[in-house]
Amino acid sequence: MSGTAGGPKRTVGFLGFGRIAQATLHRLVGFGITQCLYTTRVGSLPKKDLEDSLTEKYRHINPGFESVRAVDLKTLARGSDVLFILAPGGAETKHIVNEGLLREMKRTSVLVNASRGSLVDSEALAKALREGWIWGAGLDVVEGEPDVAADHPLVREPKLVRQPASRACLTTGQLRDLAPHRECSDHDQD
């Protein structure tokens, strides 16, 4: 994914634009990202001052960088080459990445969920990958963890890279083995 001042436009999108999303954008700018789109909570106002300061900052690193701007969810899906899901879980965001949103994405786009498994409808993502609606996906969490069975729709999907969040997949006993000098209790579980 490389873009230059005269090269192709490379757009990264963020569903959720908090501290982690902004730190991720900072790391990606050097790889030729030319535009950042983001969507935050429904009803939240765009962060114009933040958008302007980040745009100015990243133009110094990458002269081809154009802008950081808030958009609606449909525009985010349609415009992103890579779409990062970095929003909080809960009833408001359950399956926010569903068949409708996945169908709006580019066939060449990649979905990355480093948030909560409940934000992505696993059945819809598996279908999107099988049918070529998007190019691929990278997940560190899937719906149903830690009890992901062999029949989970994403387990054998070849266009998916899954790297479980290390602590999320450990039992209290396994954590205890990693930290033998510290007593783990039921209160230590996430």
For residue 187, pLDDT over 60 is answered with no
Give the separation between CA 127 and CA 148, rounded to whole angstroms: 18
What pLDDT does residue 65 have?
95
Within a 10 A sphere around the Cβ of 19, how many other Cβ atoms?
8
Beta strand segments in the chain, E: 11-15, 35-39, 67-70, 82-85, 110-113, 136-139, 160-162
Task: Single out the residue of 98, 53, 102 nearest to residue 80, CA to CA.
Answer: 102
* Percentage above 70 pLDDT, the chain: 81
Query: Mean of the per-residue pLDDT values for the chain?
Result: 83
36: three-class secondary structure by DSSP? strand
Q: Is the pLDDT confidence value at 157 over 90?
A: no
Domain ranges in the chain? 11-188
Residue 154, pLDDT score? 84
Contacts of 141 (CB under 8 A, 6+ apart): 113, 114, 115, 116, 117, 164, 165, 168
pLDDT confidence of 144, banded at 50, 70, 90?
Answer: confident
pLDDT digits (tens, 9 = 90+) for 106-137: 999 999 999 888 899 999 999 999 999 999 99
- What digits encode the pLDDT tens for the residues 64-96? 999 999 999 999 999 999 999 999 888 888 999
Sign of CA pseudo-dihedral 1, 31, 129, 71 = negative
Q: Is the dihedral of CA 99, 21, 153, 145 positive or negative?
A: negative
Domain 11-188 has CATH 3.30.1330.90: no
For residue 165, what pLDDT band results from cuts at 50, 70 and 90?
A: low
Q: 164: pLDDT confidence band, cut at 50, 70 and 90? A: low
CA-based max dimension of the chain:
57
Which of 184, 160, 159, 157 has its CA nearest to residue 173? 184
